Every structure is written in C-alpha cells, then in structure tokens.
Amino acid sequence: MATENPLREGLISERQPEPCTLVIFGASGDLTKRKLVPALFTLFTEKLLPESFAIVGFARKAMTDDAFRAEMKEACLKFARHKPTDAAWAVFAKGLFYQAGEYDTPASYSALEERLVRIDAERGVKGNRIFYLSTPPSNFPITIAQLGAAGLVGRVPRPECFRRVIIEKPFGTDLGTAQQLNRDVLAVLDEKSVYRIDHYLGKETVQNLMVLRFANGLFEPLWNSRYVEHVQITGAESIGIEGRGGYFEQAGILRDMVQNHLFQVLAITAMEPPVSMNADDLRDEKVKVLKALRPIPDGRFDEFVIRGQYRAGTIAGRRQVDYQEETGVTKGSARETYVALKLFIDNWRWAGVPFYLRSAKAMPKKVTEVALVFREAPLRLFGKSASQNQLPNVLAIRIQPDEGVSLRFGAKVPGNTMDIQPVNMEFRYGTSFGNEPPEAYERLLLDCWHGDQALFTRGDEVEASWKWISRVHRAWEASSAGVHSYEAGTWGPAEADRLLFRDGHQWRRP
Ligand code: NDP
Ligand code: BG6
C-alpha cells in the first residue's frame, strides 16, 4: 500500500500510484463532467495514472458504458487541460464504466460490488478502491452507510488492498451537521481513509504559500506581530450566483467560500512551521490556528462582520441582474453574497494583529490574494514631504489569476530630491516557469491515489472552522440589522470600507 507520496518531495516522480478503481457517486452531474474526469484524463495523458486503473461512474440515471464514455469524451474535449486525441481516448475509455443504481438501496451496492470484482479481474486492479462522493451533500450519509453495510469500506484496514473515500464540499452546513457527518463517516471508516476535499488546497499558489514561508530564510523572521501590521485575505469573484439560486439561498458566501476556502488559506498563512510536511503534522498546525480564532464578542458583531447583497450593475461590460431577480432566490431574501470579517488569532505569533477577510460575488474582477501589510519603519528619516507618497510595505501572494508574489516597498524617485515612491518587485508564475500549473483536482485526485491526506481537511479542522462560522450565523439570525446593498461591479458596501477605516486601514484594490 502506498504510504509515501513522491510529489511531496517536490519531484514529479516516475513512480506511478498503485492500480486502483475510482468509483464516482453522482457521475451524471456537473462536477464529474467539468472537473473530475477531465482531471483524470489529464493525469492519464501525463502518465501519472497506473496502467491498471478503472473509473466507474455511479448514478441513478440509466446509461450504458458507451453512452457514459461518449459524454465524458465531450466533457474532456471541453474542459481537460490536455484535449483527447482519438488514439489516447481509445485507451483511456477502456477503463471507463458506468453502473446505474439507487444511493439508498442495498441491492445497488451488491450489484456495484459484483461489477467491481469483474472489473478488478479484467483490469488487474487488485481490489484497491477510492469512492468519490460527488452527489448533493444530503446524500453523503446514506451513501457512506450503505458502503459500510455492503462491506465495500470498513474501519479495519485491509492488509491486501486499500479503500478510501473522498467527500466533496460542503462538509456540513453548521457545527452540528458537520459533527453529525463526522460521526456518520467515522462509524464506518477510519480517519486515515477519509479525504475531505477543499479544492483550494490543490491550487499551486496555496501550496506555494507554504514554500514561500518555510523554504526561504527571508520571510519567516518577519512573519509575526512584531513586523506585520495587519493581513488582508480576499476571495473575490466577478460572476454572480450563476443559476445556483437554490443552493446559494441555503449557503450564502460565508458557508460557500469562507468556512472552507478562505479559512484554509488563513490557516496556512498564520500557522506555525509544522514538524514535517506529513498530513497530520501539517493539519495539527492548521487546527491550532482555527482553534485560536477569537470569538466575536456578543453584541459587537457590526464591528467585526459586514454582509452585503448585490444589486444590478455592470461588470466588465456585462450586465449583472439584481440578486433578488436571480432564479431560485426568494423575494426579500437577506442571503449574503458579500462578507467582510475582522478576525484576531489569539496566539503568541499574532496577538493584536487584525486579519481582514472578504469574499464576494459580482465584484469588478476575480482575484484571490493574501496580503501582509508591514509596520512602518520606526522613524521617518526623510522628512514629511519626501515620504508623503510612502505607503506601507506589502507582501502580496496572488493565488489567482496572474499567480505570483509581489513586494511593495519605497524607492527614491530619481532626481535631486529625496522623494519616495512605492514600487513593486514581482514574481509571476507564468513568466518564471512558463508551463501551465496542474488543475487543483488533478493534484488532489493523485494525492488520494498515493494515500497522502496532507492537502485534505481533517475532521477536527472542519469542526473548528464551523464553530467560529456558526456563531456568526446565529448572530445574524438573532439580529434585526439587514444586509447591506452594493452595486454589482463595485468592491462591496461602504460599511465594509468603514470596518477598516476605523482601524486606520483600507482594503487593497487588487
Ligand atoms: P449535481 O447537482 O450535478 O449532482 C450530481 C449528481 O448527484 C446528479 O447528477 C444526480 O445524479 C445525483 N443526485 C443524487 N441525489 C440527488 C438529489 N437529491 N438531487 C439531485 N441530484 C442528486 O452536483 P455537482 O456535480 O454540481 O456537485 C457534486 C458535489 O460536488 C456536490 O457536493 C457539490 O457541492 C460539490 N461541488 C461542486 C462544484 C461544481 O463546480 N459543480 C464545485 C465545488 C463542489 P442521478 O440523479 O443520476 O443519480
Ligand atoms: C466553490 C464555490 O467551492 O468555489 C463557488 O461553491 C465558487 O461558489 C468556487 O465560485 C470558486 O472556486 P475557484 O477555484 O474558481 O476560485
């Protein structure tokens, strides 16, 4: 069984993962077409999958293997990084199968098991299996319970093969449901076999945050409250809710983006250096950050949390309708499409340093970044007029798009005066490395195949983040204060600017 992931050493190894069948539950859905199978096909073309592999789509919709293959080919032509040639597709498609069934019916799982045993023999897969739960989350508990009842997975590791389960997001909708789901999962599986997906962890630039911090002697000594004045983390999208009204009305941006993606980025930005890059060492450090998040004091939510909802507007020349007019949205809904938070991490490193997080739909552009804003030099040596344009030093890690890192500092303007202007030192992934980074799902699927959980969230991590987020939801439910409006294509409600102005700061305009 694989215990070491060669990718962890930073080397794309020639070593391939072990033979395995990946079963996707919900294979008739959007994620399978847009992300999962295209990622698997790209891994296949890069020779990162073993020769003996199989991919079995499972869903209720009746479909033959050939119909599934045709649908997946079309999806790969559209979405895969490497477009299929007829020759490559012919080989890949031999490993693709489809099995129709009901998620809550034991007979469907015995039929699946029989099929998997046949595929094992046909493809030489040796009984190794990964089950990927890509259905709506309401289906996760029953699918896991049925997998356990059918003996397809179990708490006791099998000496002869591995069985792993990947669980899509969202993992719960509040602390209580996340705890319940963890109980459901751990009733039939050992934590070592559970892979909770947060696709932000699969992004190259999120992983580079760790490299920047821990593989360079330069940054880490400055990475604390002595030098860092505050931190801003932005996860902005220019799209609206894109037809996902039903889902978004339940979720809102705090659940959709902050509880998972932004909190993971926050944890990696703020964590202590782990003892090693092993899954548990890394996750131990992330959990400590999430547990150290200071709860917002009762009655003072408006000083720490601002929520907004977009009105109609124009984004890069495109007309965006009002959230209230989106399909699936209940008229008068107060569901937030924008949230700004001020957080404190009560630990030795970050005591007193505000972390400002914001995430939103319908912003002027898509941008995800982490920015560390440094304290000023202790003395203004060059006089007031010389430094009037001086801005604080900022280290900005651009997660997407234009992936890279920039460092802003003051430089002397050429001439006979000592005027100072801010300038940027830039690193761009595209120009430095030239090649296209892998898709997050490629990396995550491969890591699971290798048995490496480092880029997957652990049960206690998910619960720690829900604990903080659920307090905000409870406060919103109890509060009469409404949601602020902002015009689509702007950077959010004015109240969110005031959240920072009060502290003498302002949001970056990335
Ligand atoms: P879909 O809504 O497209 O559902 C996937 C499949 O699940 C459906 O085709 C359907 O297949 C099956 N299904 C089972 N039970 C139900 C049910 N009660 N209602 C509707 N469908 C059901 O989901 P996605 O593919 O978009 O997403 C899958 C998972 O991935 C979800 O957990 C989602 O939150 C997560 N995710 C998706 C992203 C995306 O970009 N799509 C992004 C990030 C996460 P059938 O009826 O044939 O059984
Ligand atoms: C998903 C959210 O998890 O992440 C979406 O459900 C959001 O609402 C998406 O658009 C953003 O992901 P990315 O990789 O495009 O930043």
Q: Could you tell me if the CB of 403 is within 6 A of ligand 2?
A: no
Name the packing angle between helices 86-93 and 37-45 (round to 10°): 110
Catalytic residue among 82, 199, 230, 261: 261
Decide: 198 in ligand 2 pocket, CB within 6 A.
no
Q: Is there a single domain that holds both residue 110 and residue 208?
A: no
CA of 147 to the centre of ligand 2 (A): 29
User: By the 8 A CB rule, do 194 and 165 touch?
Assistant: yes
Q: Per the structure, how many domains does the chain have?
A: 2
Q: Domain range spanning residue 256?
A: 201-379+439-449+461-501
Query: Domain end: 146, 168, 190, which one?
Result: 168
Q: Assign residue 315 the CATH number of its domain.
A: 3.30.360.10
- Residues 254, 155 within the same domain: no
Q: What is the pLDDT of residue 5?
A: 57
DSSP character string of 299-311: T-GGGTEEEEEEE
For residues 149 and 212, membership in a common domain is answered with: no
Q: Is residue 418 part of a domain?
A: no
Q: What is the pLDDT of residue 15?
A: 61
Closest residue by CA, ligand 1 atom 1: 29
User: Are residues 145 and 254 located together in one domain of the fold?
Assistant: no
Is residue 107 situated within a structural domain?
yes
Q: How far apart are the CA of 167 and the centre of ligand 1, in A?
A: 12
Among protein residues, the one with the nearest Cα to ligand 1's atom 32 is 136
Q: What angle (nearest 5°) sits at the alpha carbon of residue 390, between those of residues 371 and 359?
A: 25
Same domain as 65, residue 132: yes
Looking at all shown ligands, the one closest to residue 259's CA atom is 2
CA 415 to each of CA 387, 388, 410, 422: distance values in angstroms, whole numbers, following the listed order: 15, 16, 15, 16
Quote the ligand 2 centre to 411 CA distance (angstroms). Answer: 38
Does one domain contain both 255 and 314? yes
Residue 501 Cα to ligand 2 middle (Å): 29
- Best residue among 30, 247, 441 to mutate for probing ligand 1, ranked by most atoms within 8 Å of CB: 30
The H or E element that residue 207 is part of is helix 204-214
pLDDT along the chain (510 residues), means of 10: 50 69 97 97 95 96 97 97 96 98 97 96 94 96 97 89 96 97 97 97 94 95 97 98 92 97 98 96 98 92 94 96 96 96 97 98 97 92 75 94 92 90 92 86 96 97 97 87 92 96 93
Residue with tokens 């099995």: 99
Q: Encoding tokens for residue 241?
A: 């809710």
If asked whether residues 238 and 133 sit together in one domain, one would say no
Pair (135, 233) in one structural domain: no
Q: Would you say residue 391 lies in a domain?
A: no
Same domain assignment for residues 143 and 80? yes
Q: Which of 428, 455, 426 is nearest to 443 (CA)?
A: 455
Q: Tell the residue number behind the tokens 């880029």, with chain if given.
A: 455
Which parts of 80-173 fold into alpha helices (H)?
86-93, 106-123, 140-149
Cβ–Cβ < 8 Å for 112, 155: no
Q: Which amino acid would we find at residue 413?
A: V
Ligand 1 pocket at CB < 6 A: 26, 28-32, 34, 59-61, 103, 134-139, 168-169
Distance between Cα 257 and ligand 2 center (Å): 7
50 and 96 belong to one structural domain? yes
Comparing CA positions, the residue from 175, 213, 214, 255 lying closest to residue 461 is: 175
Query: How far is it, in rounded angstroms, from Cα 60 to Cα 173?
Result: 25
Does the residue 266 lie in any domain? yes
Buried b (16+ CB within 10 A) or exposed e, 285-307: bbbbbbbbbeebeeeebeebbbb
Ligand showing the shortest atom-to-Cα distance for residue 261: 2
Residue 251 lies in a domain: yes
| Catalytic site includes residue 450 | no
Residue 34 shares a structural domain with residue 101: yes
Q: From residue 79, give the alpha-carbon distance in Å to each of 35, 41, 53, 143, 440.
A: 7, 10, 21, 28, 13
Ligand 1 atom 29 nearest Cα: 134
Q: For residue 118, is it within any domain?
A: yes
**71 is a domain residue:** yes
CA pair distance 412, 419, nearest whole angstrom: 6
Beta carbons of 168 and 59 less than 8 angstroms apart? no
The answer to whether 169 and 203 are in contact (CB under 8 A) is no
Reading the block at residue 295, the tokens are: 């709860």
Give, for 370, the enclosing helix (H) or strand (E). Answer: strand 367-374
Q: Which atom of ligand 2 is nearest to the CA of 253?
A: 8
Q: Does the beta carbon of 237 sit less than 6 angstroms from any atom of ligand 2?
A: yes
For residues 98 and 147, state if they share a domain: yes
Is residue 47 in some structural domain?
yes
Atom of ligand 2 nearest to the CA of 261: 3
Domain final position from 168, 186, 216: 168
CATH code for position 163: 3.40.50.720
The pTM of this model reads: 0.95
Q: How far apart are CA 241 and CA 173, in angstroms?
A: 18
Report how far residue 255's alpha carbon sits from residue 173's, in angstroms, rounded to the nearest whole number: 7
Q: What is the spatial distance between Cα 239 and Cα 353, in angstroms, rounded to a whole number?
A: 31
